Chain A
């Protein structure tokens, strides 16, 4: 199966074929991840070191969250629960790796939960073993306040991701705009839609938030007294810095190297142009010089190029330029309304919105092969795609269920999930 170079058609082929019992179990798995098989993880029930009801409950919750994370990851795949009946219960002191190998586990996660020192707290100890080599790979111990069970499980799952060279995904946060409390304000949530909290408290609209790559700052636009001011909010210090307060300023995007902040401003001539500042908001420089609209900048993973939308050809189309504003080339094709490009952190994919017959769907353009996949298929407006840190998932907004809500979807159009339900929610950005 080394021939897999990602091609959507080929994936489709594999998906169809995998339903026929022609391939073995593992080859089915292989089709799910690009080029590499997802790693089957055995995760038997967590050992409970004492009989306290709190420990029992925490052991169950922690395991459920960890498994949900692994299932979502597409890097790992938890063994089906039914497989555990074929092996004797795990004895952490004397692990029979042959048993686990026989049910096709590559990794074995051994979790044990005990009571913590502080009242109501629990301790999770997680050990990861490589089944084939029968070796201990990694161990982690977390002292957990009962309100932070989810976070602990996410951290544990992220340790597994790191082990395979993946960026932390499960502790990442999605920032978005919601009107659930009256007017558009900025909110945060976990990758799975849990822990939705309000971040800004203004009477005016706060809009188009974007994460800095350090996960500590958010740039956003706030509408005040007829001005659309671009701010950088430092989440740790609670400090707000003004970047640009003349004209309408919007669509901020931090470069992945954390050095620059690109954004749109109508400072000159009431026409949206792309500007770039240092990541602290200083030294603003204009990048586009054009009578047409230039908007929605997104950085390449190397921070050396910027994709953006421009209607210089008559309708909104997607272009790429060098980070200095030079070497502009037209990359979108087929259709006359493309916007909201989002460059995947893994490099070759550009997600965007295309309007066809007044329906907005998400597409992914592979910049290397020039192939396009249609990601969403609904008679609705699917908008504002943003990639997960590992480039396997996206969040976007959609009004497919009537109101505008935030959904997540995988890069191949599978695994659609609704993340928000309260009020209207839009303009998500996923921390990298």
Chain B
């Protein structure tokens, strides 16, 4: 009985092995030419077309480090009213432009930072900053940006943009700003 089982197992294994091999053998030939052809086509096409600016927009983007990219501030910050976290009318076109940029560079992931001015308490401001970041998050989702490309955080009033203590500084500091965290 045991021998029979062992034998049938051996047969089964060899069968599987052979059929597997046969399939592989059948499938292997087509791909290589495809793989070889594609780069050739690109290589042939690109150099003669543009010699001086050599790199495409994509390639330039590709070569930038996250730091370099963030230094360019591709996404504009938006501001909020005092004690409020709803998206202002003047912020909507800014967010639309940001959404367009995010749609162009689909691999990009961003962090949305919510900030407050100093005229709120530490504890409440941290929660309010988060609400501001979330409002921007939701607005970008409504413009078609996938939620898994965005994360939010609040810094409360701990990172003011303008250290001043006047209306102008406060208005600047009540903001949501963006950092590219992956591309």
Asked if B121 and A355 sit within 8 Å, CB to CB, the answer is yes
B151 within 8 A of A: yes
The binding surface of chain A is classed by DSSP as strand
Taking the closest CB of chain A, its distance from the CB of B132, in whole angstroms, is: 9
Within residues 377 to 402 of chain A, which ones have a CB less than 8 A from any CB in chain B? 381, 383-384
Q: Name B118-148 residues within 8 Å CB distance of A.
A: 118-124, 126-128, 130-131, 133-134, 137
Report if B158 contacts A (CB, 8 A): yes
* Complexed CA–CA distance, A308 and B122 (Å): 14
- Count of chain B residues with Cβ under 8 Å from any Cβ of A? 26
Q: Is the CB of A226 within 8 A of B127?
A: no
B128 contact set on A, CB distance < 8 A: 293
Contact (Cβ within 8 A) B154 A296: no
Q: Mark B143-164, 1 if CB is under 8 A from A, else 0.
A: 0000000011111001000000
In A283-329, the 8 Å CB interface with B consists of 293-296, 309, 311, 315-316
Task: State which of A184, A315, A340 has its C-beta within 8 Å of the C-beta of B121.
Answer: A340
Q: Inside 8 A of A271's CB, which chain B residues have their CB?
A: 127, 130-131, 134
Is A270 an interface residue, CB under 8 A from the partner? yes
Residue of B whose beta carbon sits closest to that of A339: B121
Interface majority SS on B: helix, strand, loop or mixed? mixed
Instruction: Check if A248 sits within 8 Å of B154, measured CB to CB.
Output: yes
- Range for the number of chain A residues in contact with chain B: 35 or more
Q: Does B179 contact A (CB under 8 A)?
A: yes
Closest Cβ of chain A: how far from B41's Cβ, in Å? Answer: 40
Contact B122 A340 (CB under 8 A): yes
The answer on a CB contact under 8 Å between A251 and B133 is: no
Smallest CB separation, A9 vs chain B (Å): 28
Residue A39 is within 8 A (CB to CB) of chain B in the complex: no
On whether A296 and B124 interact (CB within 8 A), knowing A248-B153, A270-B134, the answer reads yes
Give the one of B83, B130, B131, B133 with max A CB within 10 A: B130
Q: Is the CB of A272 within 8 A of B121?
A: no
Cβ-defined partner of B131 (8 Å) among A225, A270, A316, A384: A270
A270 touches B122 (CB 8 A): no
* Neighbouring B residues of A337 by C-beta, 8 Å: 121
User: Measured between alpha carbons, how far is A251 from B126 in the docked complex, in Å?
Assistant: 9
**CB-nearest residue of chain A to B137:** A270
Chain B residues closer than 8 Å to A266, beta-carbon distance: 127, 130, 134, 152, 154
Does A353 reach chain B (CB closer than 8 Å)?
A: yes
Does B181 lie at the interface of the complex (its beta carbon under 8 Å from any beta carbon of A)?
yes
Residues of B within 8 A of A294 (CB): 127
For residue A263, give the distance in angstroms from its CB to the closest CB of chain B.
11
Give the residues in chain B near A184, CB-CB below 8 Å.
158
For A230, list chain B residues within 8 Å (CB).
none
Instruction: Determine whether the beta carbon of B134 is less than 8 Å from that of A360.
Output: no
Let me know if A223 and B155 touch, CB within 8 A: yes
Does B87 lie at the interface of the complex (its beta carbon under 8 Å from any beta carbon of A)?
Answer: no
Q: Known contacts being A223-B155, A226-B181, A295-B127, is A208 close to B134, with CB within 8 Å?
A: no
> Which one of B121, B122, B127, B151 has the highest number of Cβ atoms from chain A below 10 Å of its Cβ?
B127
Q: How far is the CB of A326 from chain B (nearest CB, A)?
A: 22
Bound CA–CA A360/B131 (angstroms) = 22
Q: Mark B170-183, 1 if CB is under 8 A from A, else 0.
A: 00000000010100
A358 within 8 Å of B (CB atoms) = yes
Q: How far is the CA of A337 from the CA of B123 in the complex (A)?
A: 12
A227 interfacial by beta-carbon distance below 8 Å: yes
Supposing A269-B134, A271-B131 touch, asked if A339 and B126 sit within 8 A by C-beta, the answer is: no
With A207-B158, A269-B134, A270-B137 already in contact, the answer to whether A250 and B126 are too (CB < 8 A) is: yes
Q: Which of A227, A355, A427 meets B119, CB within 8 Å?
A: A355
Known: A270-B131, A340-B123. A381 touches B118 (CB 8 A): yes
Question: Within 8 Å of chain B (Cβ to Cβ): is A79?
Answer: no
B121 contacts A208, CB within 8 Å?
no
- Return chain B residues, CB-CB under 8 Å to A251: 123, 126
A272 with B153: CB separation less than 8 A: no
User: Whole-angstrom distance between the alpha carbons of A140 and B153 in the complex?
Assistant: 52
Known: A226-B111, A226-B179, A353-B121. A272 touches B126 (CB 8 A): yes
CA A225 to CA B151, docked complex, whole Å: 11
Q: Which residues of B contact A315 (CB under 8 A)?
A: 83
Bound CA span A125–B176, Å: 61
CA distance A393 to B12 in the complex (A): 83
- Look across to chain B and name the residue whose beta carbon is closest to the beta carbon of A226: B111
Return chain A residues, CB-CB under 8 Å to B133: 270
Q: Is the CB of B121 within 8 A of A293?
A: no
Partner of A384, one of B120, B122, B130, B158: B122
A296 to B127, CA, bound (A): 10
What B residues does A223 contact at CB under 8 A? 153, 155
- The CB with the most chain A CB atoms within 10 A, among B83, B113, B124, B137, is that of B124
**Docked pose: A296 CA to B130 CA in angstroms:** 14
A226 vs B155: C-alpha distance when bound (angstroms): 10
Contacts of A340 in B (CB 8 A): 121-124
Can you name the residue of chain A whose Cβ is closest to the Cβ of B125? A339
From B111, B131, B152, B179, A293 is in contact (CB under 8 Å) with: B131
Chain A residues in the interface with B (C-beta under 8 A): 184, 205, 207-208, 223, 225-228, 248, 250-251, 264, 266, 269-272, 293-296, 309, 311, 315-316, 337, 339-340, 353, 355, 358, 360, 381, 383-384, 426-427
7 A-B pairs with CB atoms under 8 Å apart are: A207-B158, A248-B130, A248-B152, A269-B134, A293-B131, A296-B123, A384-B122
A264-B123, A339-B120, A384-B123 known; 10 new pairs, CB 8 Å cut-off, are A226-B179, A248-B152, A248-B153, A264-B126, A270-B131, A272-B131, A309-B124, A316-B121, A381-B118, A426-B122
